[in-house]
Structure 1
Amino acid sequence: MSLPDGLTLAASAFNWTPEVIAAETPAPDIAVGIVRTGVASTIELEPGQLWRSFPEPIDGEVDALRQDLDDAGGSVGIVGASLDDWLPGGRRRTDDERLGFLLPQLRAAQRLGAVGVRLPIGQAGEPLLRRLLPELHARDLVLFEEIQGQQTPDSPATAAAIAVIHELDDSRVRLLVDISMLMPALPVTYLARLRSAGIPVGLVQRLSDAWRDPSTATAVVDLLRSGAVPPGIHTLYMNMLIRFGRSHAADLRGVLPLVGAFHLKFWDLHDVDGRVSNPIRDLGAELAGTQFTGTLCSEWGGHEWLDDDPTQMTREHLALARRTLNGDIR
């Protein structure tokens, strides 16, 4: 089943985090396995999970992974970069030190044949982005700044970072949009987890029925401030304040010319009322007629509370995404 012109589906090795943590198989072999098992031929990598030598990956390790991927018929889309702004002892890195921290990662991405590297939006800042541009051009890489979850194109910090990308006016610096921004409803399994953990029934019902209602956001914060969130799910609860967004695909129209890639974030595959497929469908509608030619990468965040098999989850999600983008889900 073909995709609309210009769109490429990919899979993130992040989806296999539980297997990386289990350490029964070397992380590079897990990454190559995504291609060998036919899940996806284009993959995104998280070097911090791959190599102990990160953030200064050893050439031999990088080259070995590149060769294995070549042999399997795979390629690397985006590589997750890291920018540690602080040194041991609490001193902030200078701009020279920040540049020096990133350069080995750019070298590794180039050796992998990657399209580019990814950082959180705004972290690099304009001075460093300007210094990185010659390196990006020389290495034929794109730096993607990622916006996700509760971030919106018009929130002050995000808007300021987007303005920098617009001002640079260089295709080597692009936005990456994670559709965790576009959640019409919360995941079925997440709601079940909250319910079983003792979150008040009334709040769980409100979360189920009216996720995008501003008063629901207020109720989430109020319960947190009351101290009534059970300690065992405190981190999970915080997803509603950080990782789960309430935007609409139409909110992206003003920034689409700056977007070079998307993460098709999903949490589970319970597509009740289209809560998994509708954001993909709505995004496809916004992209129709544009010149977008980047990747749409399956990224599974639900392994935080689910024990499902990453390979099966990703395979099924990509199949759903393909059907949705081709208009085969009504």
Structure 2
Amino acid sequence: MDNVHILTYGHTAMTQDASTAAHFYRPTSVVNVTALTQELQRSLELPTLLDIFAEHVRPHAYFTGLQLHSCLGVNEMTNSQDNAVANRFDIEVEGEHLGRLVYLSDATFSAALQEQLKKWQQVLAYPLRNALTYNRVLRLATRDPLTGLNNRSDFNMSVEKKLEACRRQHRPFSLMLLDLDYFKQVNDNYGHQVGDQTLQEFATLLRQSVRATDSIFRFGGDEFAILIDDDHYTTNTVIAERIQAAVGNSELMNRYGVSCSIGFALAQAKDVNISLFERADKALYQAKFSGRNTYQGASELSAVPFTSLNAHNDNQKPPKNAKIS
């Protein structure tokens, strides 16, 4: 494929203020399409593809940010910055709509620049389709189909990465386990369709209660986990209280008498997957037997001493050997 030449402008066009018209920086240069094609074929990561494309195009066109809006959400180039004007281009391959590229600039692109970008985007389109297909398949393999949350398989990979970062880069985190109280009665009394609605509602409440840096997982049934990007006891209690408040304020959860119990553990550098999970699971078990609708932290990792691990309790302790649901 031949290099794509940029249209030449006179001196007036070159000195035109960027606030009135987006312009080429180097009107006599070329984009090395062969090099661009080769580099784009080396990755299936959407942000990486945008970085590669931007690296080749930005010397010739003015924009501060580049985003891809697709069925997988919004991806953007590294250090993408918002600006006043969003120049949008639909990307298609053989009649298939892949998404929309959005160039963020302080001016609307000229007609000449728009036509030039469309030619460069043809080089991006096929690698982009391959990456979208790959990531769609990957998402299906790591997502719970009912709630859209990450699944147990993805949890195992994620917690291993976090433990490695904790050991090597001193990046601490916490593991929170959650279990719905009285969920079995919902399925038994109202059917599995209502049970599914309850699980979907709980997933929505979890998304609303955690931060963007935290990751939520569904293991199956009514068992959930959150990897919290913080190892402070106080942070975990704030998130736990926020979740339980959201559940308590949910009309659907109240209608079917469902609450949740929570246990969490703060990761240590010496931890492995099993040891961390066991501590969080023991805390969850204690929360259940402390009366449900309660949260509890693993004591040996608490940032401050406390006499009772039961941080929140709205119910009476169940009788000995009582079945937990």
TM-score band w.r.t. shorter chain:
under 0.3
Higher relative contact order (CA 8 A, sep 6+): 1
Which structure has more helix as a fraction of its residues? 1
TM-score under structure 1 length normalisation:
0.22
What TM-score do you get using the length of structure 2 for normalisation?
Answer: 0.22
